[in-house]
Chain A
Amino acid sequence: MLRVNEIAERLRKGMQAGTGAPADMTEEKVTDPLVITPSPELADLNTSGSASIDLRLGTWFVSLRQARMPYLEVDDPSLGDQFTKDHYVRFGDSYFLHPRSFVLGTTLEWIRLPRDLAAYVIGKSSWGRRGLIIATATGVHPGFKGCLTLELTNVGEIPIAIKPGMAICQLFFHEVRGPRPAGIDRSQFAASRKPTLGRIGPDRFFQNLTNSPQAAWIISQAKLKAACEAAEGRSIEDMKANAESLLDEESTGYLSETKELERQSILSQICFALSSGIRKGAGT
């Protein structure tokens, strides 16, 4: 874990990135900066002796509509907009979070993590003691860029007025060791200023458990055909763009009679399998 004065030093260097001016003429140019903006007071950080940086509440919220559907089917990505509602709260106004209510908020700060740092979002104990629980999904991966989505719940007995700009949570930083591969930002929330639901990504293990025998058969046949076509020189990208071309006549006929959701699931699993890599020569 990094001490806050180390973070302050990296933030100071990060403030110069892209401006054409190195933080200090004797320093090398920072190519992968840590940035938090609006920036915390660096002078205060240097003397605080703590290990975290406070973050503030942003202006956008996303609440969940309660009566739009009987239950939430998490693997249907098209449902997100149907049960969420955006809210904007001006500086000086409040969002009232009622007991046992849940809302997504964001940090006011836009954050850019370099590839050698990860972070954890933790609530502030002073809020927790008043019933406001903040951030249940707390990991921030290296390379993250954007505002952090916060999950806010009132587990107390009275409504809580939360206000954009107030300190809401804290961020602890950890160094990530090992080689630094390019493009390692795993987050789906890159470069967003509003809270986002994100999608629950394809989970091959889970899908293998739940696929019908017919779906499993179609996927396995498509993978075999993809392996053959890859061996003959067809690109993976082309196959992903035309996943249906990997289906034989029988599979196509079966899918034409299934529900659209299942059909999409099977095609996306084929694409996912292609992305994960297919064994050249398999099936020959």
Chain B
Amino acid sequence: MEDLRDHFYQVLAGLNDLQDGVSSPETIKDACANALGDLHEYVPLLGFILRSTNVRNAFELYAPLQRLCEKVLEPGESPLTRKTQLILSSEWYYEAQVHPAKTYLENYVLIGLPAPESSNPLLLPLAGHEIGHPLWHVHSLRDHFFQVAASKIIEKVLHDKTAFKDAYPPEPDPEHITPTYLVQHVNRLFSNGVHWLVGQAEETFCDFVGMRLFGYSYLNAFAYMVAPRLSMERVEQYPKLTTRVQNLLNGAERFDVEVPSGYADLFEDDEDPDYHDSAKYNLMLADSSLAGMVEELGIKVQELLPDGRIPVPSDAEAQRILGRLKYVVPAESALSIADIINAAWRAFEDPDLWKGIPEVLKKRDHALKEIILKNIELFEIEHRGERRA
């Protein structure tokens, strides 16, 4: 809040420095427009920050998630010099979101979980996806993958020049379409395609980050949020849902994550936008080029999140925690919050859980949520006791 206040004091001081008759009308108009633009961005952030203090949230999640953000985003920094600040809040949209970094909120990671379930620890893995966005930003991956995306799209065009000619009738005949020509004109012809492809690459990267951080539970939380859902028009910056799921399955192999049975069958594609000609062609180029980037995206996540730094979710550890949950007690000495959440999903899926304990069984889901949040608090207490790095 103080950072926001300081920023707007600066904006106000700038406006006060403007003087009629000295500053040009255009300058005054631009300054006022910029100030209004800042306010337009600032008011939703205030709401976001306000909601972060609502007691419907599970505050137990905060400290372990803050530490995870620090480890992911500032791996080389000591705990004394780390700058990352997490604000964990809730969204009125029924989806998890990360708010883009603002220049006046540098080093802040703003993650919102869907308000009705902001205290549901089973959905915490979605925050893993959202942490991927600032990781993408911190390492300027957009710049690198923009170049990759442009070259992939040019490859696709060269592979089927007739389709290009059909989408852009005034352009040269196929025999004159050369790599040099396309490189020169890529921004003019394929701006949308490259933009969409880079967006799809970022989302795929973030899916891999979520899966690397949370493993099995990421797949479950993702399905919980989007399958099934009412058909809606697809957003081009996201891969087609079935493509996204296929990429998740490929990622599961890379990150050695068990896939829930029948997983791919849970999802259906949304409708494509009603595009024609060049826009439709651009979307086709973006969709068909993504497959060629998935391998590199996976390798990049492995490079940025090496096993030694961030604990790899362990199924054996999740099973150990599950063993304690069956006695309706939290598990001591968990190695990571991912293992706790993975155990929670295993418990959630177990039809026999607490069958012999009627007083707990009658409020099974509530009890599971409570015990998992207590387990996360216990994890934090143990961390503070030992002050693990």
**Contacts from A to B (Cβ < 8 Å):** 15, 17-20, 33, 35, 37-39, 59, 86-88, 90-91, 108, 110, 112, 143, 145-147, 182-183, 185, 187, 190-194
Does B55 contact A87, Cβ atoms closer than 8 Å? yes
> B residues 347-367 with Cβ under 8 Å of A?
356-360, 363, 366-367
Q: List 6 A-B contacts (CB under 8 A).
A: A15-B332, A18-B325, A182-B356, A185-B359, A191-B366, A193-B374
Q: For A38, give its contact among B326, B370, B378 (CB under 8 Å).
A: B378
Q: In the complex the two chains form, is B374's CB within 8 Å of A90's CB?
A: no
11 A-B pairs besides A18-B331, A190-B367 with CB distance below 8 A are A15-B332, A17-B327, A18-B323, A18-B325, A19-B324, A20-B323, A37-B330, A91-B384, A145-B328, A183-B357, A191-B360
Chain A residues closer than 8 Å to B363, beta-carbon distance: 190-191
A194 to B377, CA, bound (A): 12
B326 close to A18 (CB less than 8 A): yes
B359 touches A112 (CB 8 A): no
Q: How far is A278 from B381 in the complex, measured between Cα atoms in Å?
A: 51
B360 touches A145 (CB 8 A): yes
Nearest 9 pairs of A and B residues by beta carbon: A18-B323, A191-B367, A86-B55, A145-B328, A35-B329, A18-B324, A193-B374, A88-B59, A193-B370
- CB of B228 to closest CB in A, whole Å: 30
Closest to A188 in B: B359
Q: Does B320 contact A (CB under 8 A)?
A: yes
Partner of A191, one of B324, B328, B358, B384: B328
Inter-chain CA distance A192–B382, complex, in Å, is: 20
Query: B320: which of A20, A35, A193 is its contact (CB, 8 Å)?
Result: A20
B371 with A110: CB separation less than 8 A = yes
Pair B358/A193 contact, Cβ less than 8 Å: no
Any A CB within 8 A of the CB of B150: no
Name the interface residues of B255-290: CB closer than 8 Å to any CB of A.
Answer: none
Q: Write out, one digit per residue, whether chain B residues 377-389 have a CB within 8 A of any chain A CB (1) or not (0).
A: 1100110100000
* Interface residue B373 (Cβ < 8 Å from any Cβ of A): yes
**What does DSSP make chain A's interface, helix, strand, loop or mixed?**
loop
- When the two chains form their complex, are residues A112 and B327 in contact, meaning their CB atoms are under 8 A apart? yes
Alpha-carbon gap, A38 to B332, bound state (A): 8
Q: Which residues of B contact A37 (CB under 8 A)?
A: 329-330, 332, 378
B320 adjacent to A191 (CB under 8 Å): no
Summarize B's interface: helix, strand, loop or mixed: helix
Could you tell me if B329 and A145 are in contact, using CB atoms closer than 8 angstroms? Answer: yes
Given contacts A91-B384, A190-B367, contact A17 B359 (CB under 8 A): no
B329 / chain A contacts, CB cutoff of 8 Å: 17-18, 33, 35, 37, 110, 112, 145
By a CB distance below 8 angstroms, the chain B residues around A146 are 370
A145 to B328: give the CA distance in the assembly, Å: 7
Q: Considering only CB atoms, which chain B residue lies closest to A143 in the complex?
A: B359
B380 and chain A: residue at smallest CB distance: A91
Provide the residues of chain B in CB contact with A90, threshold 8 Å: 59
Known A19-B324, A39-B332, A145-B360: A191·B371 in contact at CB below 8 Å: yes
Does the CB pair A191–B370 fall under 8 Å?
Answer: yes
- Closest chain B residue to A15, Cβ basis: B332
In the bound complex, residues from chain A placing their C-beta under 8 Å from that of B382 are 38
B51-72 contacts to A (CB < 8 Å): 55, 59-60
Closest residue of chain A to B356 (Cβ to Cβ) is A182
Question: Which residues in B have their C-beta under 8 angstroms from that of A182?
Answer: 356
In the complex, what residues of B have CB within 8 A of residue A112's CB?
327-329
Cα A250 to Cα B331 in complex, Å, equals 57
Residues A59 and B324 in contact in the complex (CB < 8 Å), given A145-B360, A193-B370? no
Residues of B within 8 A of A191 (CB): 328, 360, 363, 366-367, 370-371
Across-interface contacts of B331 in A (CB, < 8 A)? 18
Minimal Cβ-Cβ distance residue in B for A38? B381
- Known contacts A18-B324, A18-B327, A190-B360, A88 near B381 by CB under 8 Å: no
The chain A residue sitting closest to B382, CB to CB, is A38
Most buried by B among A35, A86, A108, A193: A193
Q: Is the CB of B377 within 8 A of A59?
A: yes
In angstroms, how far is the closest chain A Cβ from the Cβ of B369?
A: 9
- Tell me, in angstroms, the Cα distance from A39 to B371 when the chains sit together: 16
Distance between Cα atoms of A88 and B331 in the complex (Å): 23
Question: CA of A33 to CA of B329 in the docked complex: distance in angstroms?
Answer: 10
Contacts of A183 in B (CB 8 A): 357-359
How near does chain B come to A10, taking the closest CB pair, in angstroms? 14
Contact of B327 among A35, A39, A185, A192 (CB under 8 A): A35
Question: Which of A39, A91, A190 has the most chain B CB atoms inside 10 A of its CB?
Answer: A190
A192 touches B370 (CB 8 A): yes
A20 to B320, CA, bound (A): 8
**Can you name the residue of chain A whose Cβ is closest to the Cβ of B53?**
A88
